[in-house]
């Protein structure tokens, strides 16, 4: 088995821009949460695929927090980056920012953490390159990702134990 070269998070970073149109909104004129989740999943998938150089699938969405509403006519900038790679899985952080093009105001609207797994043509997990953080912020996200992974695995184990009862 060959050793995969490590990569920096910036090598696979994705920035997507979307315009909120009438079909994207609810009765209050706010962007539908499910539409934003769709965009978040796409951005995260692109990061995972760029990093791994392989087809990647969503394994889990740990959390999505909605901080601010996004209105009809706002521009949504979605910034996605890998925080850490494990054996075949990768944690991706996605932040969405709303931009009001009429007054130039930007606000952090949403934060999400997703886990993706690189797979082969048979759906079997494949190893992925490791991450080499380059900045203090990347190093902090790298360390925090290990903690979130521990919590995911602990939670999975607890749920499995509960199902056995």
Four-residue CA torsion sign, 35, 39, 42, 47: negative
Q: Which CATH number fits domain 9-164: 3.30.43.10, 3.40.50.2300, 3.20.20.140, 3.10.129.10?
A: 3.10.129.10
Residue 82, number of CB atoms within 10 A of its CB: 31
Residue 6 CA to residue 85 CA, distance in Å, equals 10
Sheet holding 75-85, edge to edge: 14-19, 75-85, 89-100, 105-118, 56-66
pLDDT at 1 over 70: no
Strand partners, 80: 14, 94
Please report, for the chain, the start and end positions of each structural domain, with discontinuous segments joined by +: 9-164
Which pTM was predicted?
A: 0.91
Q: Which of 14-18, 59-63, 95-99 has the lowest mean pLDDT?
A: 59-63
Please state the φ and ψ torsions of residue 41, each to the nearest 5 degrees. Answer: -65, -40
Task: For residue range 118-161, list pLDDT tens digits in order.
Answer: 999 999 999 999 999 999 999 999 999 999 999 988 988 999 88
Residue 121 CA to residue 123 CA, distance in Å, equals 6
């Amino acid at each position: 088995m060959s050793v995969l070269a490590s990569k920096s998070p910036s090598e696979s970073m994705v920035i997507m821009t979307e315009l909120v149109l009438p079909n994207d909104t609810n009765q209050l004129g706010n962007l539908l949460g499910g539409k934003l989740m769709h965009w978040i999943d796409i951005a995260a998938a692109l990061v995972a695929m760029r990093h791994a150089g392989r087809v990647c699938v969503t394994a889990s969405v740990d959390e999505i927090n909605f901080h601010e509403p996004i209105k009809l006519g706002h521009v949504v900038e979605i910034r996605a980056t890998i925080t850490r790679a494990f054996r075949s899985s990768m944690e991706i952080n996605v932040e969405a920012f709303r931009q009001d093009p009429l007054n130039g105001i930007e606000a952090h609207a949403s934060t999400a953490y997703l886990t993706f797994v690189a797979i082969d043509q048979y759906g079997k997990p494949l190893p992925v390159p490791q991450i080499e953080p380059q900045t203090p912020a990347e190093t902090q996200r790298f360390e925090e990702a290990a903690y979130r992974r521990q919590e995911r695995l602990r939670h999975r184990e607890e749920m499995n134990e509960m199902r056995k009862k």
